C-alpha cells in the first residue's frame, strides 16, 4: 500500500491516524505481527534496549544498558544468532570493567565430527535426505534460545553492552520538487529535496524509546560460528629424538603506546533545511490509548477552504509569488491539475536527522527517541533542504526501453550538497504542481550530481552514425637512430537531434566511452565520468530545429617508421614546434632536418633520372632495330625514315650522356647526406615526449 506524504496528498481517516504516529515518522504495521509470535532474538531482562544503529549490509549494532547489582547478567540468544553475538560482544562500564567471563553452553555432536571427512551434501538436497522428524527437529533447534552468562563481581555496575545482529537493511526514499523556471533567469535552478529512511523491525521485540541511527555504508560483516566446537586434525608424531628438522621462525611484536582517552562525542548541528514558518506552532506529543504518540492539536495543519487557499499554500511553500505555471512538454503539458500537489516542508528543522561523517561513512542520527513495534516498519524524515537542480533531457539508449534508442528521457538533475552519502533508492519527482514520474538514485557521494530519468520524451528524435579513421603523427621515441611515432585512431560519433516542439531543449547525450580513448574538443559542460565509462555531452536544440553533435574520441598507437617518410617529417616538425619539447634534442633535430631535406631532394632527382634513363635505353634499342630493318631498302620513303630514326637515336644518346654523369654526382651526394644524417640523429634521444595537448 502506498503511503502518501504531506498534508496535500489526500488520505482517509484510517490513514490519518497512521501519519500521526510521530512528528516526522510513519509506522507501518506488518501483517506478520498477527501471525505466530516467535519471540525476540536476544533477551536481557536486566538491560534495556537503548540504541540501534542499522547498516546497509544486513546487520545492526544494538546497545543495552542498565544498573546491575547481581553477580551475573544473563542473555537468552537464539541459537542461530549466538555466533554473531559472541563475535561482536562489547561490554563497557563506567569506572572500569569488572566482567570476569562470558559462558555459554556447547552442543558437540561426536558422530558429526567423526564424519567430518565425508563429502559434503549439496544444501539444495539436504532436506530431501533427512527424515521428516529430523527436519522438524532442525527447525525447532533453529528457534531455540541459548543462555549466555556474564559473570561479575557482585557489586553495583552501570553496564553498557553492545553487539551486532542480523537486521533488514534500512532503505532510503527521495522526493524532489523542482522550482519553477522564471523567464530570463539563469540556467541554474534549485529544488526542494526530502530524504526519508525506512526501517523494518524484525528482531522479535518492540523498540521503545530507542536512539536510532542509520549508516549509509556497509562495513565488512560475516557470520561467525564461535559457538560451534572445532577440533582440527593433528599429525601423528613418533618419538625420534630431540633433533629439529628446521629452525622455527619467531614473531616480533613492537611495543604499543598506551592509547589516548577517546575524544568527547561531537555535538552535531542540525542539518540546514527549510526555515520554520513564522506562525508555525511547536509540535507536542502525547500518548493515546493505543500507546502510540500523536501530534498535539496545535500542530495540526489548518483545514483547506478551497482551491484558492491551496494555491496560496503552494506559493508560500515554494517561495513563488504566483500560482504554478505549467511548463510540461508534449502530452505532459496537457495534464490538468486543479491545484498544486506537493510534499510539504517540515516546520521544525531541529527534528531532522543530524548528519555525521565517521570512519569514511555517513551516519544519520535521529534527534528524538523512536518507537518501532516488532514486525513493523517506520519511515523517518532524514533531510529536507534546497539543492541545485534542473529538469533536462538525457539520451541514453536502454535495451529495456526499445524507443530509447531514438528518443531521450526526461530527467531530473540535482547535486548532493549535503554532508553525507546518499544511498541507492527510489525518487519521486514533482514540478509545477504535478507528479512527473519516478526514478532511481544510484549511490551519490557529497558534491556529486545525479541524473535521474523518469519519463520518455517523444518530441525529440535522435539519429546516430559513426566513422573510424587514423590521422596525425607525434614523436613517441627516438633512440639509437630509430624513430617511433604515435598516430591517433579516431572515432567520430555523430548525433543528429531533431526538436519537434515549440520549446528549446537542453539535451545531455550519454556517450559510451571507449577504453583507452580520450575526448577531443568536447563542448563546454561535458562531464567525463571515468567510473561509469561514459560522458554526458550537452547540446542545445532550438524549437522546431535540428542540431548535430559530433563526439571525437582518439587513441594513440605506436609504430616504428623510416626517417624519410612523410609521417616522420610531420611528427618531427611538430616536436620541434612544441614549446614543451626538450630544447637540446630540438637543436639536434634542427641540424639534421636540412640534411634530410637535401638527401630527399637528391634521392628524388636520382629516381626521376633513373626512370628517364631506362626509357631512353628502350628508345635507343627501338631506333637501332628500326634502322636495321630499313638498311637495304633504297626507296625515298626508307631514306626519310632512316633520317628520322637517326636523329632520334642521336638525341637519345646525347641525353643519356648528360644523365649518367649527373647520376654519379647525385649518388655521391646521397651517400654523403645519408652518413651525415645518420650521425646527427644517432645523437638524439627522446624517451619522454610531451603528451598531446588538451583538446587535441
Q: CA 681 to CA 666: how far, in whole Å?
A: 22
Query: Over 70: is that where the pLDDT of 317 sits?
Result: no
- pLDDT of residue 324 exceeding 70, the answer is no
**125 has a pLDDT exceeding 90:** no
> Do residues 340 and 178 lie in contact, with contact meaning Cβ atoms separated by under 8 Å?
no
Residue 345 has a pLDDT of: 63
Residue of 311 and 138 predicted with greater confidence? 138
Q: pLDDT-based confidence at 15, cuts 50/70/90?
A: very low
Give the pLDDT confidence of 25-41 residue by residue, as tens digits. Answer: 444 444 334 444 566 77
Taking residues 68-84, report their average pLDDT. Answer: 79
Please, which pLDDT band fits residue 107 given cuts at 50, 70 and 90? low
**The pLDDT of residue 226:** 63
- Measured between alpha carbons, how far is residue 261 from residues 97, 264, 265, 267 in Å? 15, 9, 12, 18
Q: Above 50 in pLDDT, residue 608? A: yes
Would you say residue 232 has pLDDT above 80? no
Give backbone dihedrals phi and psi of 497, rounded to 5 degrees, phi first: -115, 125
Number of neighbouring beta carbons within 10 Å of residue 304: 13
| Contact in structure between 667 and 675 (CB atoms under 8 Å) | no
Cross-strand bridge partners of residue 67: 158
Of 22, 442, 337, 413, the residue nearest 207 (C-alpha): 22
405 exposed, middle or buried (CB, 10 Å; 0-12, 13-18, 19+)? middle
323 pLDDT exceeds 90? no
Query: What was the pLDDT predicted at 38?
Result: 61
Kindly tell me if the per-residue pLDDT of 614 is higher than 80: yes
Mean local confidence (pLDDT), 102-118: 50
Band of residue 470 on the pLDDT scale cut at 50, 70, 90: very high
* Predicted local confidence at residue 89, as pLDDT: 80
Give the gyration radius of the chain's Cα atoms: 42
pLDDT for residue 349: 57
pLDDT at 22: 36
More confident residue, 101 or 206: 206
Residue 258 or residue 376, greater confidence: 376
Q: Are 462 and 395 in contact (CB under 8 A)?
A: yes
If phi > 0 it is left, if psi is from -120 to 50 it is alpha, else beta; for residue 497 that is: beta
- Residue 338 has a CB neighbour count (10 Å cut-off) of 9
Choice between 298 and 362, residue whose per-residue pLDDT is larger: 362
Q: What is the DSSP string of 181-196?
A: PPTT--S--EEEEEEE
Partnered with residue 592 across adjacent β-strands are none
CA atoms within 13 A on the CB side of 41: 20
Q: Name the region of 459 (left: φ>0; alpha: ψ -120 to 50; beta: rest).
A: alpha
Label residue 86 left, alpha or beta by phi (over 0 means left) and psi (-120 to 50 means alpha). alpha
Query: Nearest 5°: CA angle at 267, between 263 and 270?
Result: 155
Sign of torsion over alpha carbons 271, 274, 279, 281 = negative
What confidence score (pLDDT) does residue 95 get? 61
pLDDT score of 63 more than 60: yes
Give the C-alpha separation, 101 to 382, whole Å.
40
Range list for CATH 1.10.287 in the chain? 583-682
- Whether 434 has a pLDDT exceeding 90, the answer reads no
- Does residue 87 carry a pLDDT above 90? no
pLDDT for res 465 = 95
Question: Where is 678: in which H helix or E strand?
Answer: helix 636-682
Task: Specify the pLDDT at position 531.
Answer: 74
Distance CA 613, CA 661 (A): 12
Q: Closest by alpha carbon to 470, among 490, 500, 450, 491?
A: 490
Is CATH 1.10.720 correct for 583-682?
A: no
CA distances from 322 to 19, 280, 309, 313 (A): 30, 22, 12, 11
Average pLDDT, the chain: 74
Amino acid at each position: 500500500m502506498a503511503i502518501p506524504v504531506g498534508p496535500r496528498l489526500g488520505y482517509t481517516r484510517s490513514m490519518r491516524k497512521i501519519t500521526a504516529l510521530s512528528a516526522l515518522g510513519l509506522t507501518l504495521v506488518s501483517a506478520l505481527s498477527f501471525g505466530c509470535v516467535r519471540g525476540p532474538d536476544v533477551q536481557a531482562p536486566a538491560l534495556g534496549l537503548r540504541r540501534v544503529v542499522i547498516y546497509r549490509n544486513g546487520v545492526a549494532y544494538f546497545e543495552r544498558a542498565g544498573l546491575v547489582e547481581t553477580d551475573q547478567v544473563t542473555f537468552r540468544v537464539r541459537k542461530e544468532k549466538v555466533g554473531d553475538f559472541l563475535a561482536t560482544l562489547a561490554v563497557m562500564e563506567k569506572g572500569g570493567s569488572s566482567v570476569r567471563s562470558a559462558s555459554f553452553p556447547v552442543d558437540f555432536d561426536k558422530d558429526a565430527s567423526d564424519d567430518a571427512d565425508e563429502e559434503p551434501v549439496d544444501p539444495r538436497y539436504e532436506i530431501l535426505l533427512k527424515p521428516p522428524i529430523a527436519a522438524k527437529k532442525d527447525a525447532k533447534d533453529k528457534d531455540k534460545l541459548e543462555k549466555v552468562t556474564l559473570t561479575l563481581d557482585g557489586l553495583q555496575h552501570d553496564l553498557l553492552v553492545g553487539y551486532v545482529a542480523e537486521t533488514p537493511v534500512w532503505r532510503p526514499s527521495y522526493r524532489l520538487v523542482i522550482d519553477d523556471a522564471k523567464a530570463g533567469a539563469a540556467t541554474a535552478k534549485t529544488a526542494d529535496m526530502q530524504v526519508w529512511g525506512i526501517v523494518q523491525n524484525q528482531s522479535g521485540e518492540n523498540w521503545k524509546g530507542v536512539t536510532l541511527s542509520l549508516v549509509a555504508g556497509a562495513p565488512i560483516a560475516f557470520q561467525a560460528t564461535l559457538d560451534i566446537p572445532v577440533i582440527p586434525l593433528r599429525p601423528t608424531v613418533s618419538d625420534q629424538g630431540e633433533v629439529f628438522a628446521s629452525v622455527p621462525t619467531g614473531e616480533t611484536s613492537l611495543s604499543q603506546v598506551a592509547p589516548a582517552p577517546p575524544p568527547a562525542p561531537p555535538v552535531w548541528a542540525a542539518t540546514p533545511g527549510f526555515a520554520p514558518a513564522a506562525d508555525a506552532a511547536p509540535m507536542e506529543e502525547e500518548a493515546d490509548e493505543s500507546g502510540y504518540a500523536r501530534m498535539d492539536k496545535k500542530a495540526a495543519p489548518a483545514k483547506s477552504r478551497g482551491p484558492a487557499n491551496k494555491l496560496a499554500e503552494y506559493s508560500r511553500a515554494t517561495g513563488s509569488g504566483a500560482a504554478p505555471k505549467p511548463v510540461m512538454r508534449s502530452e505532459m503539458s496537457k495534464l490538468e491539475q486543479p491545484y498544486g500537489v506537493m510534499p510539504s516542508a517540515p516546520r521544525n528543522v531541529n527534528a531532522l536527522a543530524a548528519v555525521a561523517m565517521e570512519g569514511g561513512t555517513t551516519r544519520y542520527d535521529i534527534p528524538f527517541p523512536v518507537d518501532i513495534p516488532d514486525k513493523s516498519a517506520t519511515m523517518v524524515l532524514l533531510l529536507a533542504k534546497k539543492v541545485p537542480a534542473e529538469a533536462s533531457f538525457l539520451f541514453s539508449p536502454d535495451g529495456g526501453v526499445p524507443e530509447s534508442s531514438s528518443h531521450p528521457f526526461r530527467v531530473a538533475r540535482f547535486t548532493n550538497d549535503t554532508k553525507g552519502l546518499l544511498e541507492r533508492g527510489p525518487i519521486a519527482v514533482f514540478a509545477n504542481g504535478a507528479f512527473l514520474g519516478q526514478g532511481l538514485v544510484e549511490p551519490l557521494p557529497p558534491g556529486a550530481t545525479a541524473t535521474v530519468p523518469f519519463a520518455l520524451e517523444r518530441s525529440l528524435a535522435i539519429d546516430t552514425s559513426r566513422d573510424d579513421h587514423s590521422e596525425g603523427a607525434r614523436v613517441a621515441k627516438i633512440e639509437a637512430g630509430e624513430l617511433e611515432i604515435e598516430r591517433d585512431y579516431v572515432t567520430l560519433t555523430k548525433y543528429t537531434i531533431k526538436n519537434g516542439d515549440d520549446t528549446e531543449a537542453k539535451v545531455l547525450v550519454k556517450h559510451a566511452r571507449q577504453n583507452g580513448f580520450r575526448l577531443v574538443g568536447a563542448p563546454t559542460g561535458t562531464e567525463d565520468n571515468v567510473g561509469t565509462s561514459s560522458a554526458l555531452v550537452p547540446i542545445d536544440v532550438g524549437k522546431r530545429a535540428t542540431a548535430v553533435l559530433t563526439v571525437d574520441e582518439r587513441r594513440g598507437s605506436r609504430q616504428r617508421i623510416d626517417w624519410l617518410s612523410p609521417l616522420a617529417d610531420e611528427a618531427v616538425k611538430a616536436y620541434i614546434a612544441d614549446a614543451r619539447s626538450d630544447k637540446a634534442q630540438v637543436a639536434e633535430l634542427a641540424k639534421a632536418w636540412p640534411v634530410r631535406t637535401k638527401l630527399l631532394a637528391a634521392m628524388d632527382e636520382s629516381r626521376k633520372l633513373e626512370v628517364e634513363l631506362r626509357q631512353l635505353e628502350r628508345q635507343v634499342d627501338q631506333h637501332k632495330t628500326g634502322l636495321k630493318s630499313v638498311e637495304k631498302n633504297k626507296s625515298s620513303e626508307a631514306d626519310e625514315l632512316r633520317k628520322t630514326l637517326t636523329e632520334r637515336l642521336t638525341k637519345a644518346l646525347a641525353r643519356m650522356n648528360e644523365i649518367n654523369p649527373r647520376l654519379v654526382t647525385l649518388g655521391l651526394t646521397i651517400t654523403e647526406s645519408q652518413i651525415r644524417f645518420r650521425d646527427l640523429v644517432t645523437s638524439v634521444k627522446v624517451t619522454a615526449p610531451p603528451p598531446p595537448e588538451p583538446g587535441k
